[in-house]
Amino acid sequence: MKQKHGKGSFWGLVPLLTFLVLYIITGVSTQNFNSMPLMIGILIASAVALMMHRKGEIDRTTFAERVTKYCVGGGDDGLILMVIVFLLAGGFYGVSKGMHAVDAVTNLGLDILPVKLILPGLFVIGCIISFAMGTSMGTVAALMPIGVSLALKIHGNMALFCGTVVGSAMFGDNLSMISASVIAATRTQDVSMMKKFKTNIAMLLPAIIVNLALLAMQPVGQGVHLSENHPYDLLNLLPYILVIILSFTGMHVILVLTLGILTGVAIGVFHGDFSLVKSMTVIHNGMMSMEDMALIAILVGGLVALMDYLGGIDWIINALTRKIKSAKGGEFAIAGLVSLLDIITTNNTVSIITAGPLAKDIGDQFGISAPRIASDLVTFSCAFNGLIPYGGQLLVAAGLAKISPMQIVPYSWYCLLMLVSSIGFILLSRDRRK
């Protein structure tokens, strides 16, 4: 059954515009786009949304009713799951750092890879981890300390290392069978994950190859002589290995990260890195490193719910779809829709869930296959999630590397190549009927 969408109202975008104007003004005036904490900007936008009424509404909602809508949006089960994953990823990062798993992986990479192949090697390692974990945030949190350590040891471009890690994280978010984004896309389009995977990998293979080639050509580590000895304990690698293996079995990401944390604690206590009691503090400190991200996800969920109530989401949807005349045009409309929603929400899963029903309508109307729609939804949302400087992935990477997220954007090559490869795939492929 085809879902009907109202015309919506540009009025519903005022909260978003408020946030964007504040973000740009403070960033430009201070020459630092981190000068306004993202949470404060979202709170201000939320306050504006809470004070607004839907245009043309006869029986106006009370302030309490709008607060309820906000809370329901922030309490969406998908968002709360994301918050839990954020916290567990932070806990895993804290434990893996405390029991020297990060150092072990770093030294292993230095030991087996020539300096010239550090960047493509880091990308491949990140792809494996993200595909296994199914979460870009968890991958960035786990791998970014390794990237920072490698960059410092070989005097590399920190922003380039950050962009490489973020790109590898989005690889798994886009293709992993246990990624929340993939699950959302395949469920909204009623298509099997394997069919989506086959279409998606064909879409992105050029991007993967070109990215690896570009990374291999970078003059990283020229004139740097690393010592021959890079000591590491293979036992310290076990938490990462366990997470990868368990993820390939299809186990839920919460169970995977929990078992990874417990394994890290056991090894840390065995090696004397911390006591069993101290390990609780280590886990807590790691979780608190993700506290901002968790709260921001909840606040954004509430803000999007109010924007939907005010008609802003429907306005965007109709602006993008009213002139569609072909299957390719339909695919580009789907791509543009989910991209805009991702820029607004900074959450690819939320943007996919929001755009999914309309994308299915467009697919039914123009005969676009379900695997193509699901691939478009995931690919474009993931690409922009790795490019927006106020998105969680870049904020976490920048925070761990102690640089500005804006410095990372030009080096997020894989995400840029995802866009180029996907657009080319749509343009060059024939319009196929389902």
pLDDT tens string 57-73 = 766 888 999 999 999 98
Mean pLDDT computed over every residue of the chain: 84
C-alpha span between 398 and 401 (Å, rounded):
5
pLDDT tens string 120-167 = 988 988 888 788 677 788 788 778 888 888 888 788 889 999 999 999
Tokens 């206590």 belong to 269
pTM higher than the cut 0.75: no
Residue 223 above 60 pLDDT?
no
Residues 6+ apart with CB under 8 A from 383: 170, 339, 415, 416, 418, 419, 422
- Residue 349 is predicted with a pLDDT of 79
Residue from 109, 386, 104 nearest 221 by CA: 109
- Residue 1 is predicted with a pLDDT of 37
Tokens 């029903």 belong to 357
Q: Which of 20-29, 103-112, 181-190 has the lowest mean pLDDT?
A: 103-112
HSE-up of 258 (CA within 13 Å, CB side)? 6
- The mean per-residue pLDDT over the stretch 363-388 comes to 91
Residue from 22, 88, 5, 45 nearest 301 by CA: 45
Most confident of 151-155, 316-320, 335-339: 335-339
- The mean per-residue pLDDT over the stretch 307-331 comes to 82
- The mean per-residue pLDDT over the stretch 215-220 comes to 86
- Residue 84 is predicted with a pLDDT of 85
- Residue 65 is predicted with a pLDDT of 92
- Residue 230 is predicted with a pLDDT of 65
pLDDT band at 299 (very low <50, low <70, confident <90, very high): confident
Residue from 432, 360, 422 nearest 200 by CA: 422
C-alpha span between 160 and 168 (Å, rounded):
12
Residue 222 above 60 pLDDT?
no
Residue 345 above 80 pLDDT?
no
- Residue 141 is predicted with a pLDDT of 77
What b/e sequence results for 59-89 when a residue is b if at least 16 CB atoms lie within 10 Å of its CB, and e otherwise? eeeeeeebeebbeebbebebbeebbebbbbb
The more confidently predicted of residues 199 and 137 is 199
pLDDT band at 371 (very low <50, low <70, confident <90, very high): very high
- The mean per-residue pLDDT over the stretch 81-90 comes to 79
Task: Pull the structure tokens for residue 23.
Answer: 């973000």
Q: Are 257 and 88 in contact (CB under 8 A)?
A: yes
C-alpha span between 211 and 207 (Å, rounded):
6
For residue 423, the Cα-to-chain-centroid distance in whole angstroms is: 20
Task: Pull the structure tokens for residue 29.
Answer: 């005036």
- Residue 341 is predicted with a pLDDT of 80
pLDDT tens string 93-118 = 789 889 988 777 767 766 777 777 88
C-alpha span between 176 and 128 (Å, rounded):
10
pLDDT tens string 397-429 = 887 888 888 889 999 999 999 999 999 999 987
Residue 232 above 50 pLDDT?
yes
